[in-house]
Amino acid sequence: MKLSKFGQQVSGRSGIKQLMDDLGEALAGNTDMLMLGGGNPALIPEINQRFREIMLDMLHTPKDMDHTLGIYAEPQGNRHFIQALAELLREEFHWPVRPENIALTNGSQAAFFMLFNMFAGAFDDGSHRKILLPLTPEYIGYADVGLEDDFFCTHKPRIEFLEEHLFKYHIDFDNLNIGNDVGAICVSRPTNPTGNVLADDEIDKLKSLAQQHQIPLIIDNAYGTPFPNIIFTDAKPTWDDNTILCMSLSKFGLPAIRTGIVIAPEQVIAAIAEMNAVLNLAPGSVGSALALPLIRSREIITLSKEVIRPYYQKKNAQARQYLQQELQGLDYYIHNPEGAIFLWLWFRNLPITAQQLYERLKQKGVLVIPGHYFFPGLQENWKHADECIRITYAQDDNVVRAGIKIIANEARKVYE
């Protein structure tokens, strides 16, 4: 079969597909595989219990159940959910958000596909624009969503060394040149894969740069506040009429139901609704129906603050302790974990590539993600990208501990 350019592009081997395949394969075949690779959030008993209760309520209210399953939502997404969320955001953050500023998508991954291709690619005047990722490493899921080549640009970060084998990336504003070829700026905050949380002044600078260049600033808030609130610093959330904030119900505990949320100027929301209609007719309704009572009661905020954040904060501290015990004597650094569900490990001067380390670890029964996937748009070869791996600590503690032990043993062998 002869495939179009688009067909070839989407059937090429993407990092995100390898990640999802590894997850599925390992789960189907080898149940002993220690899954420190994928980005699946943890199954948190209190959250699961709450969703079971809400589902039971729905089952006992046939009209709710029948409407949720049997009627298409509007292309913009379930109207009641959107209204309730706009109210919550106005109340919580005093943002002037109206229902016209919110659209739902089938997962926020789909929203990035739509948004990035809206703001980058070919333009009427013959120009070509890119998405600027001002900090790299960035989320692996962005890397392959562009429908055209040469889709991203980025800059190497500044590295700050902290105490106890910790380090932190900062945006290198001195070298951040925003030319006419940039169509939008995007950052994940907290960042996947590093757990970095851009400081308020970094976000303010990005906001004013975006204003100055009349391009939007897209903030990926998949782990941020007000839900799921997997953020361990007190970074201030932000939204205005030049900011597009993307959120998700996935890390709150509903990854399988695929509900993404875009909060943006009306013109952008109208375009998302159009694309939803073309691609899906309408976004799915089950996620918004399950979360609606939690939004209305504001429980989504208390559960995030009192259950989800402490749950991950504890696991984070535990995983860091395992790493510090096991990696003693090696030339390693951990990115300061300020949020999200990952630890980003840097093995300085690693004698093999992170891809080779990944393959050796897979043989030994532990899955991680090699670092080089997380540098979309970086043109130059940077050895650092081949010295890092991402691990998740969302799994059971015994899995995390056993996985870390194997990673440490293998890294030690490699250095020796």
> For the purposes of burial, counting CB atoms within 10 Å of the CB of 339, is it exposed (0-12), middle (13-18) or buried (19 or more)?
buried
How many Cβ atoms sit within 10 Å of the Cβ of residue 388? Answer: 25
**374: contact with ligand PLP by CB under 6 A:** no
Q: 78, 288 in Cβ contact below 8 A?
A: yes
- For 82-117, the DSSP string reads HHHHHHHHHHHH-----GGGEEEESSHHHHHHHHHH
Question: Which regions of 171-330 does DSSP assign to beta strands (E)?
Answer: 182-188, 217-220, 243-248, 260-263
**Residue 59 CB, nearest distance to ligand PLP (Å)?**
25
**With respect to ligand PLP, which residue has the nearer C-beta, 255 or 265?**
255
Q: Which positions from 380 to 409 touch ligand PLP by CB under 6 A, shown as an x/- string?
A: ------------------------------
Residue 360 class from Cβ within 10 Å (0-12 exposed, 13-18 middle, 19+ buried)?
middle
User: Binding string to ligand PLP for residues 198 to 227, with x set by CB under 6 A, is what?
Assistant: ----------------------x-x-----
What Å distances lie between residue 90 and 93, 125, 234, 240, 262, CA to CA?
6, 38, 19, 12, 15
How far apart are CB 373 and ligand PLP at their closest, in Å?
13
Q: How far is the CB of 245 from ligand PLP (least distance, A)?
A: 12
Output 41 or 183, the one with its CB closest to ligand PLP.
41
What dihedral do alpha carbons 72, 76, 80, 81 form, nearest 10°?
Answer: 110
Q: Please report where in the chains the tokens 């599925």 appear, as a residue.
A: 24
192 binds ligand PLP (CB under 6 A): yes
Torsion angle, alpha carbons of 407, 409, 412, 414, to 10: -70
The nearest distance, CB 113 to ligand PLP, in angstroms, is 10
DSSP letters spanning 108-133: HHHHHHHHHHHHSEE-TTS-EEEEEE
Where do runs of H (alpha helix) occur along 285-378?
286-297, 299-303, 309-326, 354-363
Which residue in 121, 134, 141, 146 binds ligand PLP (CB under 6 A)? 141
Chosen residue from 68, 229, 238, 248 binding ligand PLP by CB under 6 A = 248
CA atoms of 341 and 369, how far apart (whole Å): 14
Distance of closest approach, residue 3 Cβ to ligand PLP, in angstroms: 25
Binding segment toward ligand PLP, per CB under 6 A, in 59-67, 102-110, 113-121, 293-301: 102-110
- Find the shortest distance in angstroms from Cβ 10 to ligand PLP: 17
Does 243 bind ligand PLP (CB under 6 A)? Our answer is no
* Residue 107 C-beta: closest distance to ligand PLP, Å: 3
Q: Cβ of residue 345: shortest distance to ligand PLP, in angstroms?
A: 17
Give 227's strand partners. none
Query: Pairing relation of β-strands 260-263 and 102-105?
Result: antiparallel
188 touches ligand PLP by CB under 6 A: yes
Distance of closest approach, residue 328 Cβ to ligand PLP, in angstroms: 30
Does position 139 interact with ligand PLP (CB under 6 A)? The reply is yes
- 104-123: contacts with ligand PLP (CB under 6 A): 107-109
Q: By CB under 6 A, tell whether 194 contacts ligand PLP.
A: no
Q: Does 22 bind ligand PLP (CB under 6 A)?
A: no
* DSSP conformational letter for 307: I
Residue among 194 and 336 whose Cβ is closer to ligand PLP: 194
318 contacts 400 by C-beta, under 8 angstroms: yes
248 and 291 in contact (C-beta within 8 Å)?
A: no
The residues with which 217 forms a beta bridge, in sequence order, are 185, 243
Which of the stretches 16-24, 103-111, 149-157, 328-336 binds ligand PLP when contact is defined by CB under 6 A? 103-111
What type of residue is 389? I
Q: Total residues at the site for ligand PLP (CB under 6 A)? A: 14
Q: How far is the CB of 207 from ligand PLP (least distance, A)?
A: 19
> Based on CB atoms, which residue is closest to ligand PLP, 215 or 262?
262
Closer CB to ligand PLP, residue 245 or residue 303?
A: 245
Applying CB under 6 A, the residues found at the interface with ligand PLP are 39, 107-109, 139, 141, 188, 192, 220, 222, 248, 250, 255, 260
